[in-house]
A and B are shown apart, each in its own frame.
Chain A
Amino acid sequence: MTPWPVVTLVMVLAVAPALPGIATRTRAFLTGRRGMPVLQLYRDLAKLLRKNVVYSETTTTVFRIGPIITLATAVVAATLLPLDGHAALLSFSGDLVAFAGLLGLGRFALVLAGLDTGSSFEGMGASREVTVSAFAEPVLFLCFTVLVLATGELSLAGMLGERLAAVWVLTLPSLALTAVALFMLALAETSRVPVDDPGTHLELTMIHEVIVLDHSGPELAMILFASALKLALFGALVVSLLMPRALLAPPLAALILLGGLVAMAVGVGIVEASMARLRMNRLPQFLVAAGALAVVGVILLLR
């Protein structure tokens, strides 16, 4: 067992909060503004951790454990990915279902916490969030289907590892399509434009921000961090697809991952700068489009 899976995991955890900052900064730059500092999220997190938690009188334990579960599931999901390009901390056949399930569980906990406040406002947000995830999860599984078909492996570490490097050249068209689908999925899962606008608190448009409105202090910090981590996880998936690093030395693989994550964040920023937020009733279409790409990826492999 090499230390590299642990090292890269720590690295990803450490750089995750910078990614939303990079994305937002890119967007600001492209739209002619200066924008907030890249490291702003670190400062926010530090500030939130020092604060007290305020609970609404109507809330119960469900409200309190929501953020904890969200963060915990995101971190465990991270251990399933072969971040150094070779091996994951945790790996077993079929763990891709666990990966999707963990992310789903985190979302579920957050939705429950939002509903627990009893506020109709947060109920609305919860409903929207569930709508998005109802479309997002099948797409995630379609993406995994491409990987399973391409590599014949059933674990994340296996299908993003050496097998992928071997079949990469042959299946590039499929993988490229899947990477695009995953990128679109990442935008939906982490509440970025065009699915959601992280920069707004306007009730008509909010999805994610609505649910977490009542959270405060360290618990809000957990949610923010988990969200940034999810962006990093999807980023890691996309990078692994486009650049299999199984044949590279682990330090180099880690560096490529780092560069890839930054590029992904910049990409998110570019999308945010060039697109408007979609209307709520058009959201399913965005995810159906992502699904269509993944299906074409599957078709190319089945041929």
Chain B
Amino acid sequence: MSDLHELLLLGVVLTNFWVLGTTRLSSAIRATAIQGALLAALPVALHPGWSLHIIGLAVGTLLVKAILLPTFLSWAIREAAVRREIEPLIGFSGSLLLGTIVVALSFGIAQRIPLPESESALLIPVALATVMIGLIVLTTRNKALTQVVGYLILENGIYVFGLSQAERVPFLVELGVLLDIFVGIFIMGIVVFHINRAFDSMDSTRLTELKD
């Protein structure tokens, strides 16, 4: 059971906890960069057959999730001079606890999903846990940039799930997905930058002008 991909998936879970537990935005971004690198290594570890599809996927993921996006997000926080997440909706210890509960849940759910032959027993539970932890970060943190990080983690979880179907989804489509995610986060980053300039803060809780 303890092959390379199991350890990589474990690393993904650890980076999730890292993001849940850290107050520093730079640290959270570093965690997503490491997670991106782990995700890039995953397809190679799961399908050792060096096909063009797998290598392309790994290189694309590495480029987008481990290098470009973290670099861009780091640029955004440097420009905006925001360092810390302050007073999230659920405290850091609380979200860590919630994270463990979510991981436990995912393992429970994954056993019930009648998925066909999966390369790794950990793949589905880790994917579900990552999706849910991404949602937790997205919904309980106030800084717009942390929410972007949460979205990125959510996407990473879906990517892990997608790896269980890697042979079924054509390469071209995967590239399209990667590109879309990249552009999406890029635009979000730009918006965050503007929010910071217009409101002197990256706090999304200040965005309250529009309501009924």
Direct contact of A and B (CB under 8 A): yes
Q: Which residues from chain A contact B172 at a C-beta distance below 8 Å?
A: none
**Smallest CB–CB gap between B200 and chain A, Å?**
26
B93 partner, pick from A180, A285, A303, beta carbons under 8 A: A285
The yes or no answer to B1 lying at the interface (CB within 8 A) is yes
CA distance A131 to B88 in the complex (A): 23
A-contacting residues, B63-101, CB 8 Å: 91-93, 96-97, 99-100
**Smallest CB–CB gap between B123 and chain A, Å?**
13
The yes or no answer to B121 lying at the interface (CB within 8 A) is yes
Given contacts A176-B7, A303-B107, contact A169 B96 (CB under 8 A): no
A-contacting residues, B21-36, CB 8 Å: 21, 23
> Are A295 and B104 within 8 A (Cβ)?
yes
The yes or no answer to B185 lying at the interface (CB within 8 A) is no
Q: List 24 A-B contacts (CB under 8 A).
A: A169-B2, A170-B1, A172-B2, A173-B7, A176-B7, A177-B10, A177-B14, A282-B23, A282-B92, A285-B21, A285-B92, A285-B93, A288-B97, A289-B96, A291-B100, A292-B99, A295-B103, A295-B104, A296-B13, A296-B103, A299-B103, A299-B107, A300-B122, A302-B107
Q: How many residues of B contact A (CB 8 A)?
A: 24
> Are B96 and A303 within 8 A (Cβ)?
no
Beyond A173-B10, A293-B14, 14 additional contacts (C-beta under 8 Å) are A169-B2, A170-B2, A172-B2, A173-B1, A173-B7, A176-B7, A177-B14, A180-B14, A288-B97, A292-B97, A292-B100, A295-B104, A296-B103, A299-B103
- Minimum-distance CB pairs A-B, first 9: A172-B2, A295-B100, A292-B100, A288-B93, A285-B93, A289-B21, A173-B10, A285-B92, A288-B96
CA distance A296 to B6 in the complex (A): 13
Q: Which residues from chain A contact B96 at a C-beta distance below 8 Å?
A: 285, 288-289, 292
Q: Which residues from chain B contact A291 at a C-beta distance below 8 Å?
A: 100
The yes or no answer to A217 lying at the interface (CB within 8 A) is no
The yes or no answer to A104 lying at the interface (CB within 8 A) is no
B17 partner, pick from A173, A282, A289, beta carbons under 8 A: A289
**Smallest CB–CB gap between B121 and chain A, Å?**
7
**Smallest CB–CB gap between B103 and chain A, Å?**
5
Q: Which residues from chain B contact A176 at a C-beta distance below 8 Å?
A: 7, 10
CA distance A176 to B1 in the complex (A): 14
Q: Which residues from chain B contact A198 at a C-beta distance below 8 Å?
A: none
Interface of B is mostly: helix
Given contacts A172-B2, A285-B92, A285-B93, contact A292 B17 (CB under 8 A): yes
**Smallest CB–CB gap between B95 and chain A, Å?**
9
CA distance A176 to B8 in the complex (A): 12
The yes or no answer to B111 lying at the interface (CB within 8 A) is yes
Q: Which residues from chain A contact B13 at a C-beta distance below 8 Å?
A: 296
CA distance A295 to B6 in the complex (A): 17
**Smallest CB–CB gap between B170 and chain A, Å?**
32
**Smallest CB–CB gap between B124 and chain A, Å?**
11
> Are A293 and B107 within 8 A (Cβ)?
no
CA distance A289 to B2 in the complex (A): 23
Q: Which residues from chain B contact A282 at a C-beta distance below 8 Å?
A: 23, 92
**Smallest CB–CB gap between A19 and chain B, Å?**
26
